[in-house]
C-alpha cells in the first residue's frame, strides 16, 4: 500500500469502537460521518442512503484506502457535527 497524503487531519479523529455509548447515534441522509474504529482508512463521508441498520456512505476517496462508496452498519459510523470536531478537520 502506498502512503497517501490526506487532505484533512483524519488521524486526529477519536477512535470509537462499535457498541460504545458514543457509537449509538441517530443518523440522517446528508450527515457527515467517519468510520469510528479506523477513521484514517475510510476518511470522511456523506450518508447518501439509509436502509434499516445500513448506511450507504460516499467517502469520495478521502481516506488511505481511497474508497468512494460503501455500506456500513450504523454502529460503526460517528457523525462529525455531534462531536463538534470541525477544529480537527481544518488544515493547519
β-bridge partners, 72: 55
Q: What is the pTM of this model?
A: 0.76
Measure the CA–CA gap between 18 and 7, rounded to whole angstroms: 26
Q: Rounded to the nearest 5°, which phi and psi values hold at 59?
A: -90, -10
pLDDT in tens, 6-43: 556 777 788 888 877 777 788 999 999 999 998 999 99
Instruction: Look up cell 446528508; give the residue.
Output: 30
Q: Provide the residue ranges of all domains of the chain, joining segments of one domain with +.
A: 10-86
Q: Which of 1, 73, 80 is nearest to 45 (CA)?
A: 80
- pLDDT of 8: 60
Does residue 85 carry a pLDDT above 60?
A: no
Q: How many CB atoms lie under 10 A from the CB of residue 31?
A: 19
Q: What is the CATH number of domain 10-86?
A: 2.30.30
Amino acid at each position: 500500500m502506498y502512503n497517501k497524503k490526506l487532505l484533512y487531519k483524519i488521524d486526529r479523529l477519536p477512535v470509537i469502537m462499535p457498541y460504545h455509548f458514543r457509537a449509538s447515534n441517530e443518523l440522517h441522509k446528508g450527515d457527515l460521518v467517519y468510520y469510528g474504529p479506523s477513521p484514517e482508512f475510510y476518511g470522511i463521508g456523506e450518508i447518501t442512503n439509509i436502509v434499516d441498520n445500513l448506511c450507504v456512505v460516499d467517502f469520495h476517496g478521502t481516506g488511505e484506502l481511497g474508497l468512494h462508496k460503501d455500506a456500513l452498519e450504523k454502529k460503526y459510523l460517528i457523525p462529525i457535527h455531534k462531536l463538534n470536531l470541525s477544529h480537527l478537520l481544518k488544515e493547519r
